[in-house]
């Protein structure tokens, strides 16, 4: 029996048509809904003022020191490394704070890394020895079974 529709018979079933309509309806709702939501969000954009030390020469007036609890919460320059140095920009004569990396902090991180690598080396050496002994035991058991079967 031939059908009048030019598409396969399975696509003419109402259940398949409803599922297609539901799927494409959800897809279009997602696309157009996202477009509508993005249009509603109109926020004022604050101009980003770049620090003077990015644009001009500066002089370090205070060495790299660790931030205290108040500075860590209130200064954005303390967030990156936890250390800050005070600088003076030469052209604009502004005093600002710049994030810095402390030599003590770097050395501490280096030795922490070295200790972690040493611990991993010892751990994996132990794993290799244990696995080798286990494989040797399996091989000797196999040889023993072969000799007993003779």
Domain boundaries, the chain: 9-40, 53-101, 102-150
CATH number of the domain at 53-101, please? Answer: 3.30.720.220
Token reading at 123: 């751990």
pLDDT at 95 (0 to 100): 84
pLDDT at 59 (0 to 100): 84
pLDDT at 123 (0 to 100): 98
Sign of CA dihedral 36, 39, 40, 41: positive
pLDDT at 66 (0 to 100): 87
pLDDT at 130 (0 to 100): 98
Instruction: Compute the distance between CA of residue 92 and CA of residue 46 in angstroms, rounded to an integer.
Output: 22
pLDDT along the chain (150 residues), means of 10: 53 68 74 62 64 79 85 81 86 84 86 97 98 97 92
pTM above 0.75, yes or no: no
pLDDT at 5 (0 to 100): 54
């Amino acid at each position: 029996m031939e059908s009048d529709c030019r598409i396969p018979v399975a696509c003419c079933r109402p259940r398949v048509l409803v599922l297609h309509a539901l799927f494409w309806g959800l897809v279009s709702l997602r696309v157009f809904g996202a477009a509508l939501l993005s249009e509603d969000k109109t926020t004022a954009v604050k101009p980003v003022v770049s620090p003077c030390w990015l644009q001009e020469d500066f002089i370090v007036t205070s060495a790299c020191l660790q931030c205290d609890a108040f500075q860590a919460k209130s200064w954005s320059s303390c967030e990156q490394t936890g250390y800050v140095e005070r600088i003076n920009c030469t052209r604009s004569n502004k005093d600002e704070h710049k994030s810095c990396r402390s030599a003590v902090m770097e050395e501490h991180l280096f030795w922490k890394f070295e200790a972690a690598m040493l611990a991993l080396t010892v751990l994996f050496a132990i794993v290799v020895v244990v696995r080798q002994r286990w494989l040797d035991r399996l091989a000797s058991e196999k040889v023993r079974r072969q000799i007993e079967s003779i």
